[in-house]
Structure 1
Amino acid sequence: MSFQELKLKFLTMDFGFDIENSSSPYIQLLKVATLIPISHYLLGFSLIFLTFLYNFLEFHFFQDFFSGFQGQPVLLTFDSCSQLYKEVASKCQILHGRYLATPWLSSPHFQTVFLSFYGRAPSLRYKRELFITPDGGTIALDWAMNQDAGMQVNGEIHTDDTEPVVVMVPGLTSDSDAAYVKHFAFKIVKRRWKVVVSNHRGLGGISITSDCFYNGGWTEDIRTVVKHIHQRYPEAPLFVVGTSLGANIVVKYLGEEGANIPISGAAAVCSPYDLLISDRFLNRGVVQKFYDKVLTLGLKDFAQLHQPVLSRLADWDSIMKSRTVRDFDNYATRIVGKFETVDTFYRRCSSSSYVCNVMVPLLCINSVDDPVCTKESIPWDECRTNKNIILSTTEHGGHLAYFEGMDATNLWWVRAVDEFLGILQSSKLMHKPKEAQSITNDISVAS
């Protein structure tokens, strides 16, 4: 007996329907439906599910396909009278080109996850310097090594003290071993420039040595590190590049300092800008809540590494029960940072309030489909009215990923920042560094 016959018999015997003689249109429709093979139903449901999944994960493969895999144009936002655009950004071919994501990573979520779990980072070695801050904290400064960049003497690399130095500030719970950090550092050392990763306190395998922890608005460490490096290389152009939460710290630092700063130029990649809006975004959708859970697990792992200190300063039991980043900030970050509420912390530490005060050349890069840092927090108008800022936005790219090419070995934002800094370095718009200031309480120990 066929599947269709079984269904007809079931309806006739159990419910008393006279399928053959009934004049009801619904019964006739049901009769026709039973004639369709079950394999066709399965195929239909599969297509519906795949369509749902395609849109849910924000795939854009067909969009790329129908555009001939030419990619989407990069949108630049800047002041129409900006000399920074005329002298620097207008000469950046990458910023005036298109971005095409790796076809088999044509989803912001696939890009972001691939970067986190694989990343295809280039081989890179660091030379570590332990830097002691005035309050007794310890920061690991990892200097990227390039064996071909200088002359080797007694087993050490000696380079020109006037060559540019790039300070990189990673994102939340990231350090110098993160794939995207290595991609950028590798690109910079190929320029024969110095690049140093300023790891956050407690990261990079370093213990917390004071009662101070870093947070999304903590600018004292980058301020002290920049002064220290400027004092060591007073003749070298100094650049600073921040990524994700590190970008928020960098932009806030630039806005706080204004023109009185030894920085020649900067870049901020995938900055959240407004931490309050970003918090609301992470608690809005199913996918964003997944990222929120992952970030929370990373923060809890960070907390466990420094339990002896953090358990003394904050609510340890509640920290371990945290289910969201907001929970962690409420029971740890807010208490250690002495903020009244979590929202107070988010508002005071958001860099969006400092964008208008940036006085050095700054390139900001953001992806509209970033699944972690929403486009709603991007300060479009503030960037447009500040002549020192070029805001570059792409339709795709994910969070800090921007993989390109079939082999996904390059990150678009790395090439864009590298080109921007290179052209800026040879232009007349370099922000002139101030005289090196003495730091009485800073101690550096090479390891």
Structure 2
Amino acid sequence: MPVIESKYKPRFYFKNGFISTVYSGLIRRVSLNQERERITLPDGDFLDLDWSHAKEKSEKLIVLLHGLEGNGQRPYMTGTAKLFNKNGIDAVCVNFRGCSGEDNLKFKSYHSGATEDLEAIIEHAVSKKHYSEIYLKGISLGANMILKYLGERPTVPKQLKAAIAVSVPCYLSGSAAELHTFKNKLYHDRFLRHLVNRIKIKQKRFPEQLSVKALESIKTLMDFDNIYTSRAHGFEDALDYYTRCSSLQFLENIKIPTLIINALNDSFLSPECFPVKEAKNNENLYLEMPKHGGHSGFIDKKNVYYNEKCALEFVNN
């Protein structure tokens, strides 16, 4: 489909990508009552799912996937869930392995291309029987996972009707390079600190798979992906991980209506993360590239974000 002309016009002080990104990540608050469910994955590990429901019993469900080092309580998750609940649609906020406040059982955890976990989540939702329509929405890492899932399979469950991918680094190598630039140093260091603190726990539990020396050698996010992500999840190195898990190569195969919203001032995204050609060549792909919004910072009125409104409109059309 042709590229969509964006209607997003934030207030002047939120036109700055850094301000909108930081405000959305650190200052925004959304209150939502959630019920936690733990499911067992095929390999014996677990995932925690945080459910919220519409007032009336619904036949529709949106599955929400978070970004790097996020969780089911992040405002970009609960904001969408709350809006959909108000409009008669149930929501489940996924916590990836190790992201729900309790370390998962395995040495591996989660990554941008772990679509086997998303497949298990969707199968679980389908097993509940009463959901005839299921939608997917992901932010950043979770968005890449959704696009990869949709494009790498010949078929998906018939209940899957639409998907929304926001601030998606669909070309992981380029996005990784951007995160290592000076302009993103604050973000890079924050991500790295959280990631290293998390695998310190794993190092103590699995010393034969990750040595103290290897742990202490991690100085950058690339180091982290070379030393932990790739080894824990069956890749040769960081580059192999980025190459095999980038969703860009799968976009041409997506067969359900899918909306991508990537802001042009998102400092995490490289030029390849704006898949104009792929959108024009696939009638199921809709690409919107607002001038503003930063990384997941599409601030709008009454604490309902622009991308959340777009997601609701998209699934209702």
**TM-score (norm: length of structure 1):** 0.67
Instruction: State the shift of 1:313 in Å.
Output: 2.5
Distance, in Å, in 1 between the alignment partners of 2:243 and 2:169 is 12
Q: 2:263 aligns with which of 357, 361, 367?
A: 367
Task: In structure 1, give the amino acid aligned to 2:45.
Answer: G
RMSD: 1.9
Q: After TM superposition, list the pairs within 5 Å mapping 1:250-265 onto structure 2.
A: 250-262=146-158, 263-265=160-162
Distance, in Å, in 2 between the alignment partners of 1:415 and 1:224 is 28
- Matched residue, 2:37: 129
- Matched residue, 2:314: 420
- Matched residue, 1:329: 225
Match status 1:401 vs 2:297: yes
Instruction: State the shift of 1:290 in Å.
Output: 2.8
Q: Is the 8 A contact 1:239 1:264 kept in 2?
A: yes
% same residue: 27
Distance, in Å, in 1 between the alignment partners of 2:86 and 2:201 is 34
Instruction: State the shift of 1:144 in Å.
Output: 1.5
- Matched residue, 2:20: 111
Deviations 1:295-351 (A, max 9, x none): 211211322344434544334433344222111111100111121121111100110
Distance, in Å, in 2 between the alignment partners of 1:272 and 1:180 is 17
Q: 1:266 aligns with which of 155, 163, 188?
A: 163
Q: Is the 8 A contact 1:127 1:145 kept in 2?
A: no
- Matched residue, 1:5: none
When residues 299 and 211 of structure 1 are mapped into structure 2, their CA distance, relative to the original with a 3 A threshold, is closer
- Matched residue, 1:236: 132
Distance, in Å, in 2 between the alignment partners of 1:403 and 1:186 is 16
When residues 182 and 235 of structure 1 are mapped into structure 2, their CA distance, relative to the original with a 3 A threshold, is closer
**TM-score (norm: length of structure 2):** 0.93
Distance, in Å, in 1 between the alignment partners of 2:42 and 2:176 is 32
Q: Is the 8 A contact 2:65 2:143 kept in 1?
A: yes
When residues 362 and 97 of structure 1 are mapped into structure 2, their CA distance, relative to the original with a 3 A threshold, is closer
Task: In structure 2, give the amino acid aligned to 1:101.
Answer: P
Distance, in Å, in 1 between the alignment partners of 2:11 and 2:199 is 35
Q: Which runs of 5+ in 2 are unaligned?
A: none
Task: In structure 2, give the amino acid aligned to 1:136.
Answer: G
Q: After TM superposition, list the pairs within 5 Å mapping 1:24-423 onto structure 2.
A: 78-79=1-2, 98-119=7-28, 121-146=29-54, 149-150=55-56, 159-160=57-58, 163-233=59-129, 235-262=131-158, 263-284=160-181, 286-309=182-205, 311-405=207-301, 409-423=303-317
Q: Is the 8 A contact 1:361 1:389 kept in 2?
A: yes
Q: Which runs of 5+ in 1 are unaligned?
A: 1-77, 81-94, 151-158, 424-447
Distance, in Å, in 1 between the alignment partners of 2:232 and 2:67 is 19
Distance, in Å, in 1 between the alignment partners of 2:6 and 2:118 is 32
Instruction: State the shift of 1:103 in Å.
Output: 2.7
Distance, in Å, in 2 between the alignment partners of 1:314 and 1:359 is 40
Task: In structure 2, give the amino acid aligned to 1:417.
Answer: A
Task: In structure 1, give the amino acid aligned to 2:279.
Answer: C
Task: In structure 2, give the amino acid aligned to 1:373.
Answer: L
When residues 316 and 268 of structure 1 are mapped into structure 2, their CA distance, relative to the original with a 3 A threshold, is farther
Tell me the matched-pair count. 316
Deviations 1:397-430 (A, max 9, x none): 010011124xx7231111111111122xxxxxxx
Deviations 1:91-114 (A, max 9, x none): xxxx76621223333310011111
Distance, in Å, in 1 between the alignment partners of 2:185 and 2:211 is 24
Q: Which moved more, 1:392-401 or 1:378-387?
A: 378-387
Poorly superposed stretches of 4+, deviation over 3 Å: 304-312
Distance, in Å, in 2 between the alignment partners of 1:310 and 1:184 is 37
When residues 131 and 290 of structure 1 are mapped into structure 2, their CA distance, relative to the original with a 3 A threshold, is same
Q: Which moved more, 1:96-105 or 1:386-395?
A: 96-105
Distance, in Å, in 2 between the alignment partners of 1:142 and 1:381 is 36
Q: Is the 8 A contact 1:143 1:195 kept in 2?
A: yes
